[in-house]
Structure 1
């Protein structure tokens, strides 16, 4: 089958699927899931409704605040020359799907302008339908969207490949690196190339993190040597650099801005926190009184791509950002206060009760930070914990977990 025949077949698959008819062959799973999400949200495939691009000042602010800025040289060195040779454009978007950087030849950038690929543009699915940036953000996996696989008719003359990038310091999704251009010059290995470049960028962030921990360790080691009791020096993300009086803990779930003073941490109890260059000195307070168990949990789902859980107890509160899958798990437990078995959770998330291994692995990861909040056999919120979900109903629940 030549390229023109393949394009006609793909267009027929799209037209049949979106109109509710049975196509001759089914679309790829990630594409079909994206189309279903967008049909469920009422997006019109034949009507383009672009969100306003961000002002230049906001683009610059986001650039300065983004960890992507520190590794921008990786996609520039690895992708731009290849993209230019294929008449493509290389784009980098943040976790909100806003385009922060783009590079390519002037003639290609003009074509990108026609498709809305301008600085500050919203490329998430809710705005421009199925595309390599927005769909990669939604499913957290590399994805290629070819021609008529785009949900919006206006984008069918374009092909794109993108991969999400995660910050290894805190696990946050921080953006997407993508290549876009005409289908005729998109090579079959483009997606693998983009995914590899994204992994290289993550490795650069990880290397920078190791160097920062070494610098913090050099500062903290003399201080810890003069202390008695239990103490640990951690960076701003809670990663330990040096420790005394106890085994090295895992990453501590610090608030975003802990401040100096007393702080209750789930794994250590009440602690005194003091600032250090590049981090914090956390000293465990050896006192008879210990704060009671958490009394309230707020599950914030108002931003599906940045869901969080806040745990409140008598000593204060702390917040943990959630992946979409962990948000789904906690939401399912909030809807079933009596608890769910692993099979029950698998049925809720995947409509497949046999996927218990995945559920148990994800619940194990959740309980590392929420051990005092979550109980097992069955999985549930612990007795006495009041759970609040914001918003009370989560309309985007279906389809969040791939």
Structure 2
């Protein structure tokens, strides 16, 4: 019989000390492999399992060296998160302002590598954070400090709340935190995470929803900036496109179109990492002439060189790294590499497991655990196939038979796509761990 899991709402209603003792009992029983009336929440259990595989000591306060002042400042200046600080501050810090003792918590922002770049909040709470090594320049990844509200969302790509003894390392049990990842909507890359932390008494189950919502607002701000950049590029490109004969389009550095002439509107154009001026082969357009524009590129397809579905001969699906997944395509026209979103990495991994193909309902069951979610699957697969022209077939969805496919997996299959809750991915992980797959 499946155990009941820890419920954050019920936990928040309990006395702070009683809640901490309850979680400590769950943690101790789980780490010993013994029995407990309650099971840890799924994201916490999976994080603890990662820490045990890493060999992290649950009773030792582990810290890395801080970044130098010069390196910290360099990262702050280079990070797109710097422009989002006003949005994050307005959503997560009370009107009394940073540094006030009336502020019961701190806001912390880290980059994609888990390094703390900024923190703000009540001076008393900041002093307590110093005692945990929770300060600018610190490494707050799971591999260094265990399960926490910054490092764990960077792995799972989802908002996570970590309260008291849900922290893997015991020295953090007097702390509560809720964090969410921030992703760049222009290219899907992980930028970092934002976290709200404080002493146990500041815990509230709604904090996680608040932090997640503010992270989405920050991403929306990036999206608005992106639209403004595209509008500027469109203004520059419009008079040039008026003089172009044939097909042409202006795209930004991430492949998003700002203006098109002589051809139907297109979605984002996947650009090779080594994109440059001159003649370049693009998977969705074929051979193109490329010229630089302020803020982007002018791309003109060479009409006599149309894309050939048979040009792709070898694929490498790389899901070996924890936060970056890609598909590399090689063929007669050269090679190119497409980074994958978390959802597209899941879908392509499932198709790699089933070279014979999967129907929309089978993919819905594989990814969502619900065979009726075919509309969502078809929409996602339509996006994938627009990007990977000549690589994927449909009815059923599959990699083309004539293409050689290699899958680069993590050395420890239990680390496969750690963000994923897809049944097919869970089955692969649990097969590697020798456990029965949970449905």
Quote the offset at 1:147 in angstroms: 0.8
Matched with 1:149 is 166
Does 1:128 find its partner at 2:141?
Answer: no
Does 1:370 find its partner at 2:399?
Answer: no
Bigger Cα displacement from structure 2, 98-107 vs 156-165: 98-107
Matched with 1:78 is 91
Q: Distance in 2 between matches of 1:30 and 1:387?
A: 32
Does 1:380 find its partner at 2:393?
Answer: no
SS at match of 1:295: strand
Unaligned ranges ≥5, structure 1 = none
Bigger Cα displacement from structure 2, 35-44 vs 221-230: 35-44
Matched with 2:128 is 111
Quote the offset at 1:264 in angstroms: 1.9
Partner deviation per Cα, 1:161-193 (whole Å, 9 max, x = no partner): 111112121222211111111011234432222
Match of 1:305 among 320, 323, 333: 323
Alignment of 1:122-271 (within 5 A): 122-271=139-288
Q: Distance in 1 between matches of 2:246 and 2:191?
A: 38
Q: Distance in 2 between matches of 1:359 and 1:128?
A: 37
Kept in 2, the 8 Å contact 1:235–1:241? The answer is yes
Matched with 1:27 is 40
Kept in 2, the 8 Å contact 1:304–1:324? The answer is no
Change (3 A) 1:237 1:399: closer
Kept in 1, the 8 Å contact 2:142–2:151? The answer is yes
Match of 1:48 among 61, 70, 90: 61
Match of 1:322 among 340, 352, 373: 340
Normalized against structure 1, the TM-score is what?
A: 0.89
Matched with 2:3 is none
Kept in 1, the 8 Å contact 2:184–2:222? The answer is yes
Kept in 1, the 8 Å contact 2:286–2:306? The answer is no
Matched with 1:296 is 314
Quote the offset at 1:346 in angstroms: 6.7
Match of 2:116 among 80, 99, 107: 99
Kept in 1, the 8 Å contact 2:311–2:333? The answer is no
SS at match of 1:93: strand
Q: Distance in 2 between matches of 1:256 and 1:263?
A: 12
Normalized against structure 2, the TM-score is what?
A: 0.82
Change (3 A) 1:181 1:203: same
Quote the offset at 1:104 in angstroms: 2.6
Quote the offset at 1:160 in angstroms: 0.5
Q: Distance in 2 between matches of 1:207 and 1:302?
A: 33
Change (3 A) 1:315 1:356: same
Change (3 A) 1:345 1:144: same
Kept in 2, the 8 Å contact 1:310–1:320? The answer is yes
Q: Distance in 2 between matches of 1:46 and 1:324?
A: 33
Quote the offset at 1:277 in angstroms: 0.4
Quote the offset at 1:101 in angstroms: 1.4
Partner deviation per Cα, 1:144-170 (whole Å, 9 max, x = no partner): 111111111111111001111121212
Partner deviation per Cα, 1:122-151 (whole Å, 9 max, x = no partner): 222222221111221222222211111111
Unaligned ranges ≥5, structure 2 = 1-13, 422-439
Bigger Cα displacement from structure 2, 92-101 vs 323-332: 323-332
Quote the offset at 1:56 in angstroms: 3.4
Quote the offset at 1:200 in angstroms: 1.9
Bigger Cα displacement from structure 2, 42-51 vs 65-74: 42-51
Quote the offset at 1:285 in angstroms: 0.7
